[in-house]
Structure 1
Amino acid sequence: MTRRSILAIAAAGGLARPALAQSGGRPVLLIVPFAPGGPTDLIARRLALGLGKPLGQVVVVENRPGAGGNIGAEFVARSAPDGQTILFGTSGPLAINRMLYPDQAYDPVKDFAPIAPLGRIPNVLTVNAKVPARSVPELVALAKKERLSFGSSGNGASSHLAGALFNRMAGTTIEHIPYKGTGPALNDLLAGHVAMVFTDVLTALPHIQGGRLHGLGVTTLERSAVLPDLPTVAEQGLPGYDASVFFGLTVAAATPEPTQARLRSALASAVGQPEVRQFLDSQGMQVAADLTGAALTTVMTEESSRWARVIKEANVRAD
């Protein structure tokens, strides 16, 4: 993500507020349950502009971070069921967090009406350039001979779960080192204090291109368009390995079906806009082929089931 792109999105988002004043209507709130500036926030802001056109309303992004996404998700679950407040959710608040936070105050299945999935973004398994492994099998062999560690953006984060799943499937015991965010984890990877990190493809890309890190595999079942020549982890001896992050839109459970259908249609229209699709592609997003509520319910259920065993076996606890 370049500085110019970020400024362009911010400028475009800034143009939405005068339009609201002219329309005199109440804006649709797109709740991002994470802090501003990260990949989820940037994708939501570009999507909000695309949604505004078919809805005929201004769509304003509002950040409500905290508790791994639970604070923003609960806000939407408790909001008026009128379609005016939408959650831009991810794997955590929509599927995984209820296994990490015993006191989670909402049920992602019972308290939300699913609009549709948006898609998935892969992480990439990266190692410090001095680590003598250039493929997943070489890394597995090295980990069974030497003591290695992997960094993550925090306990219970997708980067932590990706490493836990890797250990489980590869039969390795690579030590987990949690950090307070992706930046510190990546800094220690670059410095050689940890051997590997699972991080999003766009964060890893400049370091891979610069030779400071080596990408060993992407974590989706399909290769990433951003790194088309890099094999998946699943291709390299761990069939079925999938540690991607999914994105989906939900509203409060009692939202009428016609309102849900209107939002679903707007999402399909937004994804079909060339400028929106181009941006999603540039972020490495693998856009979902089935933009239905049933498809999102299936994704949420499958993700929850798939990670439950990993979380239990690795004794994963959230920060």
Structure 2
Amino acid sequence: MHPISRRAFAIYTGAATLGLAHAQTTFPSKPVILVVPYAPGGPTDAMARTLATALKPKLGDKEPVLVENKAGAGANIGAEYVARAEPDGHTIMFGTSAPLAINVSLYQKIGYDPVSSFTPIIYLGYLPNVLVVHPSLPVRNVQELIAYGKAHPRKLSFASSGSGASSHLAGVQFNQRAGTDFQHVPYKGTGPALNDLLGGQVSMAFTDVLTALPHIKAGKLRVLGVTTAARSRSLPDVPTVMEQGVPDYDVSVFFGIVGPAGMPRDVVQKLNTAFVGILQQPEVRQRLEAQGLAISNEQKPEQLGAFIQSEVKKWREVVRISGARAD
């Protein structure tokens, strides 16, 4: 190489190194906004606030980390807001199955794509669901439920928090995998659905373990199975639906952190490293697990990206079978 060329190359590489170091040390340069696409008060919001509190010191403790709730349209408003934000890492989303996998098939029009509109940062984990029935139903396990349902066609019903919600699609997939014909009864939220199940107006529900657990312990609901591939830490003695003979049945609400498409790689890595560190803190893990989260071991950005693509494909077929649509 010519001496001048060597000198120019050295200046270029030195500048590039300084530029990268500058990018790494100056992020964050303003408050980091963690968008929750749901209203305050639910389990998603609680988990997000746990993470936000622990995130600030991991990013240098110079800039605040703020939770901003942008609810509406089944989480589409918050997701679209993040998709359109500046891709500098200062606006990120605590995403769930709805905006990151289901809504693209459920809604006629949405202003983002779950794969191309976001930069994956970390797959946090999932909230296990459980299949619960009213105690008056004379069944003790999943196979007894299937047999009873087939002996009494179209007599049993399952409640959901709304048409197209994961609690609805879980029932659709169960019918598909088990050959049953349980009737769907949609409600406007988990609370009303659970109230009618507790009152015996509906037969069963596929709901999250955190919501169901107090009623299971009180004997007001009977749990038949866990809907995820692995058993729940909250109910370790309860077998999964798959263990009880329903093939390929794995339903949960998953959680991941994403930012707008086109985020700088070093910023993604800094955020990923921060979140990985948070999830290794015993007190944070305990709090998140108490809030229902089953923490994932697949925490690389590309693992979340691949998982989102697989979930989009899975739920597209389930939504098609359900016939559910939302505007």
Which 10-residue stretch deviates more, 178-187 or 52-61?
Answer: 52-61
- Give yes or no for contact 1:151–1:179 (8 Å, CA) kept in 2: yes
Q: Give per-residue Cα distances to partners, 1:10-53, cap 9 Å, x unaligned.
A: xxxxxxxxxxxxxxx73210000011111100000001111111
Q: Structure 2 CA distance, aligned partners of 1:277 and 1:194?
A: 35
Q: Give the aligned partner of residue 55 of structure 1.
A: 59
Q: Give the aligned partner of residue 82 of structure 1.
A: 88
Counterpart selection for 1:165 from 157, 173, 187: 173
Q: Give the aligned partner of residue 16 of structure 1.
A: none
- Give yes or no for contact 1:51–1:269 (8 Å, CA) kept in 2: no
- Give yes or no for contact 1:32–1:72 (8 Å, CA) kept in 2: yes
- Give yes or no for contact 2:89–2:259 (8 Å, CA) kept in 1: yes
Alignment of 1:95-114 (within 5 A): 95-114=101-120
Q: Structure 2 CA distance, aligned partners of 1:199 and 1:142?
A: 21
Q: 1:313, CA displacement in angstroms?
A: 1.5
Alignment of 1:167-246 (within 5 A): 167-246=175-254
Q: Give the aligned partner of residue 120 of structure 1.
A: 126
Q: Structure 2 CA distance, aligned partners of 1:230 and 1:104?
A: 38
**Structure 1 counterpart SS, 2:151:** coil
Q: Give the aligned partner of residue 150 of structure 1.
A: 158
Q: 1:239, CA displacement in angstroms?
A: 2.4
Give TM-score scaled by structure 2 length.
0.88
Q: Give the aligned partner of residue 255 of structure 1.
A: 263
Q: Structure 2 CA distance, aligned partners of 1:255 and 1:236?
A: 44
The amino acid across from 1:264 in the alignment is N
Q: Give the aligned partner of residue 10 of structure 2.
A: none
Q: Tell me, yes or no, if structure 1 residue 272 matches structure 2 residue 280.
A: yes
**Structure 2 counterpart SS, 1:88:** strand
The amino acid across from 1:155 in the alignment is S
Q: Give the aligned partner of residue 68 of structure 1.
A: 74
Q: 1:284, CA displacement in angstroms?
A: 2.9
- Give yes or no for contact 2:108–2:325 (8 Å, CA) kept in 1: no
Q: Tell me, yes or no, if structure 1 residue 141 matches structure 2 residue 139.
A: no
Structure 1, unaligned stretches of length 5 or more? 1-24
The amino acid across from 1:73 in the alignment is A
Q: Structure 2 CA distance, aligned partners of 1:239 and 1:64?
A: 37
Counterpart selection for 1:129 from 126, 130, 135: 135
Give TM-score scaled by structure 1 length.
0.91
Which 4+ runs in 1 deviate beyond 2 A?
A: none
Q: Structure 2 CA distance, aligned partners of 1:311 and 1:111?
A: 21
The amino acid across from 1:98 in the alignment is V
Q: Structure 2 CA distance, aligned partners of 1:245 and 1:261?
A: 25
Q: Give per-residue Cα distances to partners, 1:186-206, cap 9 Å, x unaligned.
A: 000000000001111111111
- Give yes or no for contact 2:48–2:94 (8 Å, CA) kept in 1: yes
Task: Calculate percent identity across the aligned residue pairs.
Answer: 56
Q: Give per-residue Cα distances to partners, 1:223-273, cap 9 Å, x unaligned.
A: 000010111111111122011111000011121111111111111011111
